Structure 1
Amino acid sequence: MMKHQNLLALLLTMFSVITVSCSNDDEDEDLMGKWYRVSDFDGLARGEATSFTIGNKGYLTGGYDARKHLNDLWEYDMELDFWTQKASFPGTSRSSSTAFSVGGKGYFGTGYDGKNYYNDFWEYNPGTNAWSSKKDYPGSARNDAIAFGLSDKGYLGSGYNGNYLKDFYCYDPQTDTWEQIVSLGGSKRRGAACFVINDIAYVCSGFNNGEYVKDFWKYDPSQKRWIQLRDITDTSDATYDNKYNSITRIYGVAFVIDGQAYLTCGGAPDLRSNTWKYSPTNDLWEEVAKFKGAPRTATASFSNGDKGFIVTGRSNNYRFDDIWELHPYEYDDDNYENN
């Protein structure tokens, strides 16, 4: 009888181990993606820098290195993995600005220098490596805004200047003119993330009056309106959002690979390394491999549609100069052990 009891106990123990092992394997397999560290940023380590992408080149300017605000401009070659310093931004050095690219040129504006908010606006021409001043942004001076390019126009709005904001303006580079459009739907916000897929802009996350923003919107320029999508927290009675427990954040960063968006880094309030993939075809989020660098916020990103990169950022008083690339179709066996 004792032998049978011992055998039963052994079998139950083995079954428990196998069950836990299978469960962990299944969970691991759900978190696809692998992060690779590539060539470190050649400039000073910093946070709150601003980035934009033109073709296969990413551009990074501004930011704060814990001692001073910066105005240097750097170009990153996504294919060959190297940095080249370009003409410095000629305006006031600053951080927490925003930028977009349209028609092969970069557009940069707003920001904060530790004392003043800005609403000036500038164009960078990579062909001539030159900056030129453009018509000021007509909204109030601010930082922590978002911007994106759609077709041949740029859009800039939301942010913070002592008050939380949600107004939006459209910029036409051909005429150097601004036009106010309908304000971002839902919550005012600062430190939001945005991305563009198939000429539709998406805005999520951010912070407003003591709360991490949960509403999620897209802007369709053909309809000239904002359309609300599903919340990025577990607010419905359905099961699709039961695991939406770590998407909200401030100062997260997003990029697009193969028509799907990836949101990572930031804080809520602790620094977040978890990464979420968004599919516009079904309006659903899926957690993927955690960011493998040191946890950070106020990062910048580059994406050419085929590749996505995270660069710089800060953690408390520490600033970073590393750059990481996500390979979304690989699996990292060490993801759970190292994160």
Structure 2
Amino acid sequence: MKHQNLLALLLTMFSVITVSCSNDDEDEDLMGKWYRVSDFDGLARGEATSFTIGNKGYLTGGYDARKHLNDLWEYDMELDFWTQKASFPGTSRSSSTAFSVGGKGYFGTGYDGKNYYNDFWEYNPGTNAWSSKKDYPGSARNDAIAFGLSDKGYLGSGYNGNYLKDFYCYDPQTDTWEQIVSLGGSKRRGATCFVINDIAYVCAGFNNGEYVKDFWKYDPSQKRWIQLRDITDTSDATYDNKYNSITRIYGVAFVIDGQAYLTCGGAPDLRSNTWKYSPTNDLWEEVAKFKGAPRTATASFSNGDKGFIVTGRSNNYRFDDIWELHPYEYDDDNYENN
């Protein structure tokens, strides 16, 4: 009987030690801390579109679970407040895309619940006015990606009933489009893109039932796409052993101090985990999880020094909060959201 009691005690102690070790692993601190800042003044929504000019972020369109929207809002990243601007004059829509070049914003494509679009518009913050530009020459679509490099903009991929990977370059000086080499690798919708040092990076997204694993950068000086390491564990090397939660659809990214931060989206469960990408060594590192409610179809702003996540959706629920990441602080509660 004494031996049985001793055995039970030892098993209990082993169980406690095992659980303690497991919890220590799970509670390992991750770099970065999220702060909630001034809530978005407009209607809560998902599938909105954003672009950044200087220290101002702009958000337009989206869907609030009842209707598609066309209002435009400006967020001051330094002073933390919102101002409503001139509404987009085209058809209200969601899942559009945008970029900024030369101090102006450019917006196009999207979906209104019935129709895909390929119209294209310029927003001038100096005059608070929209003007129609030459239509995007690719097929009408939604869930595309876009970015500005130097004095030109680029728009491609997406979905129009079929998955796409074609790409076009826009010159604001001449209001003309030119088709460029298509995005390498997989077709995709709902991908994520970001720009570091005038190089564009495209990752994630969804293609014909699969979450996209390949990762590419576009160098405008070479006018070609260059493949980088996959964003999942597909090699024999050890660097990607923990790459088990980067892939996703409708993720969002921003850049701080020359490094990109990818968060939110789904695969298919909603993701809160956040990954930092360093272009100098083509490696990803997991950092502090997004602290807001898990969501997808968010928007983001970044001026290179600060990065923000705004709006988004979870099933039929829409959000109007905005969060800022401080990448060099530690969060003591990284594992609140899974």
Q: Residue 203 of structure 1 aligns with which residue?
A: 202
**Contact 2:211 2:248 (8 Å CA) reproduced:** yes
**Contact 2:290 2:337 (8 Å CA) reproduced:** no
Deviation per CA, 1:125-147: give whole Å up to 9, x if none. Answer: 00000000001000000000000
Cα distance in 2 between the residues matched to 1:272 and 1:213: 15
Does residue 72 (structure 1) correspond to residue 71 (structure 2)? The answer is yes
Give the Å deviation of 1:335.
1.9
Cα distance in 1 between the residues matched to 2:244 and 2:234: 10
**Contact 2:29 2:332 (8 Å CA) reproduced:** no
**Contact 2:300 2:309 (8 Å CA) reproduced:** yes
Cα distance in 2 between the residues matched to 1:130 and 1:311: 23
Give the Å deviation of 1:272.
0.7
Give the Å deviation of 1:337.
4.0
Q: Residue 86 of structure 2 aligns with which residue?
A: 87
Cα distance in 1 between the residues matched to 2:219 and 2:196: 11
Give the Å deviation of 1:331.
1.1
**SS where residue 110 of structure 2 aligns?**
strand
Cα distance in 1 between the residues matched to 2:160 and 2:114: 11
Q: Residue 33 of structure 1 aligns with which residue?
A: 32
Give the Å deviation of 1:28.
3.9
80-89 vs 25-34, greater mean Cα deviation: 25-34
**Contact 2:116 2:140 (8 Å CA) reproduced:** yes
Deviation per CA, 1:250-289: give whole Å up to 9, x if none. Answer: 0000111111111111111111111111111111111111
**SS where residue 329 of structure 1 aligns?**
strand
Summarize the Cα distance change of 1:27–1:262 in structure 2 as closer, same or farther, 3 Å threshold: same
13-22 vs 58-67, greater mean Cα deviation: 13-22
**Contact 2:272 2:337 (8 Å CA) reproduced:** no
Q: Residue 181 of structure 2 aligns with which residue?
A: 182
TM norm structure 1: 0.94
**Contact 1:258 1:306 (8 Å CA) reproduced:** yes
Does residue 55 (structure 1) correspond to residue 54 (structure 2)? The answer is yes
Give the Å deviation of 1:313.
0.5
**Contact 2:29 2:334 (8 Å CA) reproduced:** no
Deviation per CA, 1:32-74: give whole Å up to 9, x if none. Answer: 1111111100000000000000000000000001111000000
Q: Residue 220 of structure 1 aligns with which residue?
A: 219
**SS where residue 29 of structure 1 aligns?**
coil
Q: Residue 155 of structure 1 aligns with which residue?
A: 154
> Identity rate of aligned residues, in percent?
99
Give the Å deviation of 1:329.
1.0
Number of aligned residues: 338
**Contact 1:34 1:326 (8 Å CA) reproduced:** yes
Deviation per CA, 1:192-225: give whole Å up to 9, x if none. Answer: 0000000000000000000000000000000000
**SS where residue 31 of structure 2 aligns?**
coil
Cα distance in 2 between the residues matched to 1:110 and 1:101: 15
**Contact 1:43 1:321 (8 Å CA) reproduced:** yes
Give the Å deviation of 1:77.
0.5
Summarize the Cα distance change of 1:315–1:79 in structure 2 as closer, same or farther, 3 Å threshold: same
Deviation per CA, 1:302-337: give whole Å up to 9, x if none. Answer: 000111100000111111101111111111112224
Summarize the Cα distance change of 1:331–1:17 in structure 2 as closer, same or farther, 3 Å threshold: farther
Cα distance in 2 between the residues matched to 1:265 and 1:305: 20
**SS where residue 170 of structure 2 aligns?**
strand
Give the Å deviation of 1:239.
1.1
Deviation per CA, 1:70-111: give whole Å up to 9, x if none. Answer: 000000000111000000000000000000000000000000
Give the Å deviation of 1:157.
0.2
Cα distance in 1 between the residues matched to 2:260 and 2:19: 32
Deviation per CA, 1:138-187: give whole Å up to 9, x if none. Answer: 00000000000000000000000001000000000011110000000000
10-19 vs 38-47, greater mean Cα deviation: 10-19
**Contact 1:29 1:331 (8 Å CA) reproduced:** no
Summarize the Cα distance change of 1:142–1:102 in structure 2 as closer, same or farther, 3 Å threshold: same
Cα distance in 2 between the residues matched to 1:25 and 1:256: 31
Summarize the Cα distance change of 1:212–1:337 in structure 2 as closer, same or farther, 3 Å threshold: closer
Does residue 293 (structure 1) correspond to residue 292 (structure 2)? The answer is yes
**Contact 1:37 1:324 (8 Å CA) reproduced:** yes
Cα distance in 2 between the residues matched to 1:4 and 1:68: 71
**Contact 1:33 1:289 (8 Å CA) reproduced:** yes
**Contact 1:311 1:324 (8 Å CA) reproduced:** yes
Q: Residue 45 of structure 1 aligns with which residue?
A: 44
TM norm structure 2: 0.94
Summarize the Cα distance change of 1:172–1:338 in structure 2 as closer, same or farther, 3 Å threshold: closer
Cα distance in 1 between the residues matched to 2:140 and 2:148: 20
**Contact 1:32 1:289 (8 Å CA) reproduced:** yes
**Contact 2:199 2:218 (8 Å CA) reproduced:** yes
